[in-house]
Amino acid sequence: MKRGLDGPEPETRPTPAGRRNKQGIRIDPEVEVTHEPRRTAISALVEHEPGVLSDVSGLFSRRQFNIESLTVGPTENDDHARITIVVEEPDPGIDQVEKQLRKLVPVISVRELEPDAMRRELALIKVDAEQPGQVAAVADMYNAKTVDSSPETATIEVTGARQKIEAAIDTFSQFGIREISRTGTTALARGTDRTAASDSTGQSADEANYDGQYTETATDD
């Protein structure tokens, strides 16, 4: 009794020369190029309704997108909320993030922000206040503000790009950090450029953004 089918065996069959990489892109095996992950901010304008944040965060976790931070808040329009997501993914992954977000019904528009976009986060840093003068001096350096103080502690509010917050935390650590609370990044495009317009459809960040102006900001991500 025969088990299986007839035909030339696998080793005797011709094999094509080509290959694809893990992202399904055809490559020259001699000079294989793989996409390296990069960090970027994606802004989504969504209907301000219950469940939308869990829709978005659930999408990120079940598709295993590498998420750095996710913030959400109301906008100038009571019916809309803005979600800012910082992800670290290779280019095809960033592309998927945008496309999958657009598929969610409460999502109005999505775009990746340009490198020059304003990105800010807020941190509350509670330190030991044995040297209040020095704490105030450091706070001054970062344009930070003391929002609470007690004989033992001082809590400082600092806002800025991620690097600035990290640098501030680093510097404050000399006093002894008790607790930190950070908000994650929120962002807007510069100038007249709309971060996420209600009428934008599947437009790429490149098309939507490029109008010749570019402001280099060292403090931004």
Partner 1 sequence: MSERAAKVTPPDDEQDDDQITDSAAPDAATEDDSAAGDAETTPAPVTSGAEAVVRALENAGVEYAFGVQGGAIMPVYDALYDSDIRHVTMAHEQGAAHAADAYGIVSGEPGVCLATSGPGATNLVTGIADADMDSDPLLALTGQVSTDFVGNDAFQETDTTGVTTPITKDNTFASDSDRVGSDVSEAFALADAGRPGPTLVDLPKDVTNGETDCEPDAPAVPDTYRVQEQADPEIVAAAAERIENADRPAILLGGGVIKGEASEACREFAIEHEIPVITTMPGIGAFPEDHELSLEMAGMHGTGYANMAITHCDTLIGIGTRFDDRLTGGIETFAPDAELIHVDIDPAEISKNIHADYPLIGDAETVVEQLSEAVDASPEAKKWRAQCQQWKSDYSMAYDAPEDEPVQPEFVVEALDEATSDRAIVTTGVGQHQMWACQYWTYTEPRTWVSSHGLGTMGYGLPSAIGARLAADDDQEVVCIDGDGSFLMTLQGLSVAVRENLDITVAVLNNEYIGMVRQWQDAFFDGRHSASDYHWMPEFDKLAEAFGASGYRIDDYDDVAETIDAAIAYDGPSVIDVHIDPDANVYPMVPSGGDNGQFALTEDQL
* Site membership for partner 1, residue 102 (CB under 8 A): yes
How far is the C-alpha of 164 from the C-alpha of 173, rounded, in Å? 14
* Segment 36 to 95, residues that bind partner 1, using CB under 8 A: 47, 50-51, 54-55, 58, 62, 92, 95
* Site membership for partner 1, residue 6 (CB under 8 A): yes
Q: Which stretch binds partner 1 (CB under 8 A): 5-13, 69-77, 120-128, 178-186?
A: 5-13
- The 153-192 site mask, x for binding partner 1 (CB under 8 A), equals ----------------------------------------
How far is the C-alpha of 177 from the C-alpha of 179, rounded, in Å? 6
Q: What is the dihedral of CA 40, 84, 209, 45, to 10 degrees?
A: 150
Tell me, what DSSP letter sits at residue 173? G
* Site membership for partner 1, residue 100 (CB under 8 A): yes
* Site membership for partner 1, residue 30 (CB under 8 A): no
Q: With respect to partner 1, which residue has the nearer C-beta, 88 or 95?
A: 95
Q: With respect to partner 1, which residue has the nearer C-beta, 26 or 192?
A: 26
**# chain residues binding partner 1, by CB under 8 A:** 45
Interface pick for partner 1 out of 38, 73, 74, 99 (rule CB under 8 A): 99
Residues 6 or more apart from 73 whose CB is under 8 A from it?
81, 82, 186
Other CB atoms closer than 10 Å to residue 62's CB: what's the count? Answer: 9
> What residue ranges bind partner 1 (CB under 8 A)?
1-10, 13-26, 47, 50-51, 54-55, 58, 62, 92, 95-96, 99-100, 102-108, 201-202
